[in-house]
Amino acid sequence: MPLKFYNTLTREKEIFTPIDPPNVGFYSCGPTVYNYAHIGNLRSYVLADIIQKTLEFYGYKVKRVMNITDIGHLTSDADDGEDKMVKGLKREGKPFTLEAMKELAVFYKDKFMDDLKDMNIKSPDIIAFASDHIKEDVDMIETLLERAFAYKTSDGIYFEIAKFPDYWNLSGRKKGSLENTESRIGENLEKKNQADFVLWKFSDKNNLGYETKLGKGFPGWHIECSAMGVKYLGEQFDIHTGGIDHIPVHHTNEIAQSESATGKKPFVKFWMHNEFIDTGGEKMAKSGDNFTTLRTLIEKGINPIAYRFWLLMAHYRTKMNFNYSALEGAEIALKRLYGLYLGLGDTIGNVHQEYQNKFKEYLEDDLDTPRALTILWDVFKDENIRDADKKATVLDFDKVLGLGFKNLKKEAIPENILKLAEEREEARKNKDFKKSDELRAEINSLGYEVKDTAEGQRVSKI
Ligand code: AMP
Ligand code: ZN
């Protein structure tokens, strides 16, 4: 069976084939680094990680690029409001300079990279700061001006959506519709159409910006991703990810400007989007008050991998409501899996083909991780498989799931428990089952369990 992914662009599950097999060009929209990432944001990167690990499981060679938005993102995804980075500078009492902006960006980018590491998310091959790619933005904007896809107003350079008839394809909105384009608020009368979006914003009263041939200012958030995507992955590439909030504005605009500048369609073959994490029915947003960071979870003693595991328990296109009791349930289940794994002994046998086929069948169905996890449980429960083969199979699945089985360390079993276990083994050999049962009960009461396997008894923590 081939891999199938749901493509937002066609609204269908499609067979995945890259433009240049076995290579896959993959861009994931990175964080806007004016604050800590919240656990909702991290869902986007777990999705990117599962896509990458699945592709590698299938033998593809993935090149993943992720941007760091450190300039040009306004508080509204359209063109209104304050620059998010300026907001960050204000919050932290920092001066309004490009240097201070970069310092702020590097600080939150480093924190973000720590989160990725803690969640076992593979670092992208290329991490690109928007502020290091002004030239690429300017070049693309110049091309758009030359080809008459863009026009100038007193406050910036805008993309004219009327020149791009496919503008509404990704979001599926009707042509001419302005629904959800936040530009309606605070109409800019110089724009030809309120959905026209900014490519270059001239410096405002802060006089902050980059001196370029377009004038002093900042690139728009959307052009940054197009310019960096084209620079590192070419004019057309295979996969682009982000949260569903990016569909109607950011990714719609990326397609319009990239395809207009390069003349090549499609800019990206597969657009994949994760659903949101809410808290108590409310959207979790970096700019709001109700956001939880991974650090908060860690400070509460929760293993960050338990959060990854909880995310994988739902399909990435299903909305999830975050609460601590659900996360606790996931952590208990994960500990149980870890315990089962540690009870498997040291030998690594062969991957069980039938289970692997089943596991792959679920991945192939648009990355159905909840069902893939049920197969993991089935492997542990199956009494007809040798422990060594179970171990090989679990490690094989974990190349995609990333739950960290490989690095689990057996806790040293205390001396008194080992002594009781030895006595029990002796009693069993002497067929003194009453005594052996009593010793087992005593071991259990001390928080350990003994399992009789073909290779002898095995002691582990309950
Ligand atoms: P930002 O740093 O705000 O640009 O967002 C980084 C990524 O997180 C983007 O792909 C967003 O679409 C995604 N995102 C933002 N909020 C949430 C949320 N509550 N749940 C899931 N993904 C989110
Ligand atoms: Zn982006």
DSSP 95-152: -SSHHHHHHHHHHHHHHHHHHHHHTTPPPPSEEEEGGG-HHHHHHHHHHHHHTTSEEE
Q: Which residue has the higher pLDDT, 451 or 281?
A: 451
Residue nearest to atom 14 of ligand 1 (CA): 41
Pocket of ligand 1 (CB under 6 A): 29, 31-32, 40-41, 43-44, 69, 242-243, 245-246, 274, 276-277, 283-284, 286
Q: What is the pLDDT of residue 178?
A: 52
Which CATH homologous superfamily contains domain 4-274?
HUPs (3.40.50.620)
d(Cα 388, Cα 122) in Å, to the nearest integer? Answer: 27
What is the average per-residue pLDDT within 174-196? Answer: 68
Q: What is the pLDDT of residue 461?
A: 79
Across the chain, what does the average pLDDT equal?
92
Residue nearest to atom 18 of ligand 1 (CA): 40
Query: Which two tokens mark 445?
Result: 């009461």
Q: Above 50 in pLDDT, residue 350?
A: yes
Q: Report the side by side order of strands in the sheet with 277-279.
A: 282-283, 277-279, 320-322
- Taking the centre of ligand 1 as the mean of its atom positions, its distance from the CA of residue 153, in whole angstroms, is 31
Q: Above 80 in pLDDT, residue 412?
A: no
Q: Above 80 in pLDDT, residue 308?
A: yes
Tens digits of residue pLDDT in 355-404: 999 999 999 999 999 999 999 999 999 999 999 999 999 999 999 999 99
d(Cα 61, Cα 82) in Å, to the nearest integer? Answer: 40
Q: What is the pLDDT of residue 182?
A: 45
Q: Which CATH architecture has domain 282-407?
A: Up-down Bundle (1.20)
Q: Above 90 in pLDDT, residue 109?
A: yes
Per-domain boundaries in the chain: 4-274, 282-407, 415-461
Reduced 3-state DSSP string for 201-260: EECCCCCCCECCCCCCEEECHHHHHHHHHHHHHCCCEEEEEEEHHHHHHHHHHHHHHHHH
- Taking the centre of ligand 2 as the mean of its atom positions, its distance from the CA of residue 29, in whole angstroms, is 4
Query: Which two tokens mark 217?
Result: 């200012």
Residue to probe by mutation, ligand 1, list 34, 41, 121, most atoms within 8 Å of CB: 41
- Taking the centre of ligand 2 as the mean of its atom positions, its distance from the CA of residue 380, in whole angstroms, is 40
Residue nearest to atom 11 of ligand 1 (CA): 243
- Taking the centre of ligand 1 as the mean of its atom positions, its distance from the CA of residue 424, in whole angstroms, is 55
Measured from the Cα of 284, ligand 1's closest atom is 19
- Taking the centre of ligand 1 as the mean of its atom positions, its distance from the CA of residue 245, in whole angstroms, is 7
CB 364 within 8 A of CB 50: no
d(Cα 172, Cα 29) in Å, to the nearest integer? Answer: 21
d(Cα 412, Cα 410) in Å, to the nearest integer? Answer: 6
Name which of 200-209, 218-227, 317-326 the model is least confident about: 200-209
Tens digits of residue pLDDT in 169-184: 999 876 655 544 444 4
Q: Which residue has the higher pLDDT, 195 or 51?
A: 51
Measured from the Cα of 275, ligand 1's closest atom is 21
Q: How confident is the model at residue 189 (pLDDT cuts 50, 70, 90)?
A: confident
What is the average per-residue pLDDT within 310-321? Answer: 98
Residue nearest to atom 8 of ligand 1 (CA): 41
Q: Above 80 in pLDDT, residue 288?
A: no
- Taking the centre of ligand 1 as the mean of its atom positions, its distance from the CA of residue 326, in whole angstroms, is 21
Distance (Å) of CA 394 to CA 194, 316, 363, 379, 397: 53, 22, 15, 8, 5
Identity at 193, one-letter amino acid code: N
- Taking the centre of ligand 1 as the mean of its atom positions, its distance from the CA of residue 395, in whole angstroms, is 30
What is the average per-residue pLDDT within 96-114? Answer: 96
Residue to probe by mutation, ligand 1, list 33, 116, 245, 286, most atoms within 8 Å of CB: 245
Q: What is the pLDDT of residue 363?
A: 98
Q: Which residue has the higher pLDDT, 12 or 188?
A: 12
